[in-house]
């Protein structure tokens, strides 16, 4: 029986690692990315290793109504697993960062992810089966000065995932929010050369291990997946300090590492 998985940001990083795991389990893949060279490289590498079909869709997920365009381009093929992985970060105070970049982030993390989920979820519910993995972050559990939009958008993804997971009980469809801490991917290069995300080596996770953890959690239908003991502890900090203090702690870490 043919099964299909769609992965946004599937050409590199955690998206690519998750694509490998899905291919190993005999899913046909639809990889969506903004980088055509990386897409074709990923397609070639996966098809050499596994006997699955890999389709690629070149799309900028920061554009309006791109989710509908994706569905048209894949001919509304039934999707059994949806991995909303695409994303990026931006460092700086909100008063001084560029709105164009922030708007693009909100489209990728929030609007396009939500719209694509809605479009694919309808078929999953009708078939009585399906799995959705949303890439949230450890950042979702507290406010993040100097990366305010990133932290807020990841918090949205966590809350959204938990809410619809509850709504979908008994339908055969599960939703998992993967909340990794710092992971060694190209994300660190994209954010900024000045951000602590680019400097911290402590607790830096291996992307293949993070992907495997998230994949296992998705297959089990786990709602929130936080890889690593340290990250699990950090995710509970807000229970012991005020949100105001948590925000200051995050800012201190960002500023301390900015010029390292």
Q: pLDDT tens digits for the chain (260 residues)? A: 789 999 999 999 999 999 999 999 999 999 999 999 999 999 999 999 999 999 999 999 999 999 999 999 999 999 999 999 999 999 999 999 999 999 999 999 999 999 999 999 999 999 999 999 999 999 999 999 999 999 999 999 999 999 999 999 999 999 999 999 887 765 444 444 444 444 444 457 799 999 999 999 999 999 999 998 888 888 777 777 887 887 787 788 777 766 44
Catalytic member of 150, 151, 156, 215: 150
**Burial (CB count within 10 angstroms: exposed 0-12, middle 13-18, buried 19+), residue 253:** middle
pLDDT of amino acid 256: 75
pLDDT of amino acid 99: 97
Question: For the chain, how many residues are written?
Answer: 260
3-state secondary structure of 194: coil
Cα–Cα distances in angstroms (integers) from residue 127 to residues 111, 170, 236, in the given order: 25, 13, 37
Extract the tokens encoding 63: 């554009």
Residue 204: name the closest of 228, 226, 230, 182 by CA.
Answer: 182
pLDDT of amino acid 258: 62
Contacts of 121 (CB under 8 A, 6+ apart): 82, 130, 132, 164, 173
Q: Is the pTM of this model over 0.85?
A: yes
Instruction: Count up the domains in the chain and report the number.
Output: 1
3-state secondary structure of 55: strand
Residue 97 is part of which domain span?
Answer: 3-258
pLDDT of amino acid 236: 79
pLDDT of amino acid 247: 78
- Cβ(29)–Cβ(46) under 8 Å? yes
pLDDT of amino acid 183: 79
Q: Specify the DSSP element, H or E, that contains 236.
A: none
pLDDT of amino acid 38: 97
213 catalytic per annotation: no
* CA gyration radius, the chain: 18
Which CATH number fits the domain that encloses residue 42?
Answer: 3.40.50.720
pLDDT of amino acid 257: 65
Extract the tokens encoding 176: 């998992």
């Amino acid at each position: 029986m043919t099964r299909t998985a769609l992965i946004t940001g599937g050409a590199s990083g955690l998206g690519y690692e998750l694509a490998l795991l899905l291919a190993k389990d005999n899913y046909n893949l639809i990889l969506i990315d903004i980088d055509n060279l990386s897409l074709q490289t990923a397609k070639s590498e996966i098809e050499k290793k596994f006997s699955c079909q890999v389709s690629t869709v070149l799309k900028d997920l920061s554009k309006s109504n791109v989710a509908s365009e994706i569905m048209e381009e894949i001919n509304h093929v039934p999707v059994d697993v949806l991995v909303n992985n695409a994303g990026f970060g931006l460092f700086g105070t909100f008063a001084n960062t560029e709105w164009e970049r922030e708007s693009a982030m909100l489209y990728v993390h929030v609007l396009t992810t939500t719209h694509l989920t809605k479009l694919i979820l309808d078929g999953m519910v009708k078939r009585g089966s399906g799995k959705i993995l949303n890439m949230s972050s450890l950042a979702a559990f507290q406010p993040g000065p100097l990366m305010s939009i990133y932290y807020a958008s990841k918090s949205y993804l966590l809350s959204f995932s938990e809410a619809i997971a509850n709504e979908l009980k008994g339908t055969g469809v599960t939703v998992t929010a993967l909340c990794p801490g710092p992971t060694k991917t190209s994300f660190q290069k994209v954010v900024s050369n000045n951000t602590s995300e680019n400097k911290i080596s402590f607790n830096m996770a291996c992307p293949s291990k993070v992907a495997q953890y998230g994949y296992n959690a998705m297959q089990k239908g786990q709602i929130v997946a936080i890889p690593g003991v340290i990250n699990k502890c950090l995710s509970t900090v807000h229970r012991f300090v005020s949100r105001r203090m948590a925000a200051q702690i995050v800012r201190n870490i960002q500023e301390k590492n900015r010029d390292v």
